[in-house]
Structure 1
Amino acid sequence: MTLSKIRAAAIAPALVLLPARMSSPQAEVMLLAIGLQESGLIHRRQIGGPARGWWQFEQGGGVAGVLRHPESAGYARGVCTARRVSPEPGIVWAELEHNDILAAAFARLLLWTDPAPLPEVGEVAKSWDYYQRCWRPGKPHRQRWDACYAQAMDALAGGMLA
């Protein structure tokens, strides 16, 4: 699936389920870059691991965190209601593998839990730091981030021009 299709089929509908202030070019670039970094936006189930969805959430980590964090919990319940998913970590986690809108919404909500504003589009190093704070990857691959982020910026620019 192309990045423009992912934006149209998963990210855009997810952002509609959230307050307008969560929708921005910075958020879209981060979502695309993180999806590329985590799964290549190909693998909905982590190879050899427990994470699910293109943004690779673990049940007791990102899923539980988004459902419990005071800045995201209410929005997460609203998204779950809209997607007809019970807001329980195990149920959401299982659903993320097949429900790309839910996965994109939870990824945006995880970013929302960071008190710092999203980095401006093009701030690659700051975006890497933001991603690391939110996702806390077990095996971070900084060497891949620049290419993932560049792809995300290109996809955003292409979508904005269309």
Structure 2
Amino acid sequence: MELAEVIKTAINPALAILPQAMDTPKARVIVLTTGAHESKYKDRVQVLNGGGRGPAMGFWQCERGGGVKGVYTHPASTGHLHNLCAARNVPFDIPTIWATLETDDVLAAGVARLLYYTDPAPLPATDDTEGAWKLYLRTWRPGAYDRGSPAKRAQLRAEWEGHHRAVRVVMGLK
């Protein structure tokens, strides 16, 4: 899916449900970059190297016991997640939220935004690729990076750079 379509069909509706203060250019850049990095907006279920299904769901590849549980239990996000689920007619329980991420891009975008909301640091500037990368590593805790070789880590960082730049271009930012 193209970034403009993701903005129109997932990001805009999700951010319209969440508090207005969560809808900022900084938030849009980090959330869009994360989805591009995690799934390239192609896979709503994690695809393992052998072709099987992994534990992560949605374009943002949130795991049941990781991002979903974190947003569900964190005091800063749980109320907002409850409202998001109510607006999407999704029962408010971790297994259902996690499973629904596969088919509900609005819910998935909202969960991704809320996961970043749980981090106490301010969002990085829209042109701060390195700050965005560090925030992504801190909140998503990607296994491919954590377990990766130095070469794999360098590859992932370079891919992030490209996604971050593409998002800024689509958004009309430098």
**TM range, normalised to the smaller chain?**
over 0.9
Counterpart of 1:63? 68
Matches within 5 A, 1:67-86: 67-86=72-91
Q: 2: distance between equivalents of 1:79 and 1:32?
A: 18
Counterpart of 1:106? 111
Correspondence 1:11 to 2:14: no
Aligned counterpart in structure 1 of residue 121 of structure 2, from 116, 125, 129: 116
Counterpart of 2:149? none
Partner SS state of residue 157, structure 1: coil
Question: What RMSD in Å do the two structures reach over aligned CA positions?
Answer: 0.9
Aligned counterpart in structure 2 of residue 134 of structure 1, from 135, 139, 143: 139
Partner SS state of residue 57, structure 2: coil
Aligned counterpart in structure 1 of residue 169 of structure 2, from 141, 144, 154: 154
Counterpart of 1:29? 29
Of the two structures, which has the highest relative contact order with CA contacts closer than 8 Å and spacing of 6 or more? 1
Partner SS state of residue 56, structure 2: coil
Structure 2: gaps (5+ residues) = 49-53, 146-155
Q: 1: distance between equivalents of 2:170 and 2:99?
A: 29
Q: 2: distance between equivalents of 1:16 and 1:134?
A: 23
Q: 2: distance between equivalents of 1:78 and 1:18?
A: 8
Residue type of the alignment partner of 1:53: G
Residue type of the alignment partner of 2:112: A
1:143 shift after superposition: 2.2
Counterpart of 1:53? 58
1:30 shift after superposition: 0.7
Structure 1: gaps (5+ residues) = none
Q: 2: distance between equivalents of 1:44 and 1:155?
A: 22
Structure showing greater radius of gyration is: 2
1:8 shift after superposition: 0.7
Q: 2: distance between equivalents of 1:45 and 1:79?
A: 21
